Amino acid sequence: MTPRRLPATAESLCLLGLAGFMAWLLLGGDYWMYLNPRFKALTWAAAGALALLGGYGLWRPSPRAAWLRAGLFAFTLALCVVSGLAVHEGAEKMGAEPQAMREAEATPEPRVKKRGVEYIRINLGELYDIVGKPQPELIGLDYAVRGFVRRTPELDAEGEFVLYRVALYCCYADSTAVGFRVRPPKGGKLPENGAWVVAYGKLDRLDRPKPEAEESLGGSAFSSVNEDYRIAASLIEAEKAPGMGMMYEWRPQEPYAY
């Protein structure tokens, strides 16, 4: 290999390295920590394009390649590797599993029957959109929503809690917590703070301001607890949280993403 071809070879190897990094994210289960899983197809396409460019560059090195550009590619690859290792370590500390990716792709049954009542499975973000439009024909239906419990002394005094989930719109950095206040059925106990539960019930219009939950829900910098409606629950069930319990998708009609 002549010295003139070294920069081009370095560039090509870096492109192949970037393609390999993307494939590692996609196959290893940490992809959701970077981007919403709905972008997986686009990322696969980008990885394929980089691999083709890198392979072609090794076959026919560009005579215009320079060490400065090769150095920038190498720096980018190094940043990706360092960030990937840090994210993977952080995911392990949080107890995150590859199940988070499977959770985003799972499609549960759109409805469930409890005690003779058929409930529509819907996630909190989708329900938030329904009351925000509003859609009167949908507000009076029976819904099943799931999420994490957030309790505060003010809400405890009202006999309520906030049910919330973190919405991953594009990437983990822009995640937003979305929630509703929940009033348990008469005689029902408030679930433990941080528990994952499913609440079955109807939307109930709030006629007066209610106590606010903490500004930050679930470690998210931005949060939104609906101020117009709460969920009047007829049943609350505890269950194991699926993966990280995040919301990755919002659908305007049934079957909802849940």
pLDDT in tens, the chain (258 residues): 556 678 888 889 999 999 999 998 888 767 777 777 778 889 999 999 999 998 988 888 877 767 888 888 899 999 888 888 876 665 565 555 454 555 555 567 899 999 999 999 999 999 999 998 878 889 989 999 999 999 999 899 999 999 999 888 776 667 788 999 999 998 888 999 999 999 999 999 987 665 555 555 655 556 788 989 999 999 999 998 887 788 888 888 899 988
Please report whether residue 199 resides in a domain: yes
Question: What is the C-alpha to C-alpha distance for residues 142 and 167, in angstroms, rounded to an integer?
Answer: 23
- How long a stretch of residues is the chain? 258
Domain count, the chain: 2
Please report whether residue 245 resides in a domain: no
Question: What is the C-alpha to C-alpha distance for residues 107 and 237, in angstroms, rounded to an integer?
Answer: 20
Identity of the amino acid at 155: L
Radius of gyration of the chain (CA): 24
222-238 vs 196-205, strand pairing mode: antiparallel
- Same domain, residue pair 149 and 87: no
Please report whether residue 72 resides in a domain: yes
pLDDT at 206: 86
Nearest Cα neighbor of 5 from 56, 54, 64 is: 64
pLDDT at 105: 54
Domain closes at, from 61, 96, 131? 96
Please report whether residue 58 resides in a domain: yes
Q: Which domain holds residue 54?
A: 3-96
**pTM across the whole model:** 0.69
- Same domain, residue pair 111 and 224: yes
pLDDT at 135: 81
Please report whether residue 151 resides in a domain: yes
- Same domain, residue pair 38 and 157: no
pLDDT at 220: 56
Please report whether residue 128 resides in a domain: yes
Please report whether residue 219 resides in a domain: yes
- Same domain, residue pair 112 and 92: no
Question: What is the C-alpha to C-alpha distance for residues 251 and 8, in angstroms, rounded to an integer?
Answer: 46
The b-or-e profile of 117-144 (16+ CB within 10 A means b, else e) is eebbbbbbbbbbbbbeeeeeebbeeebb
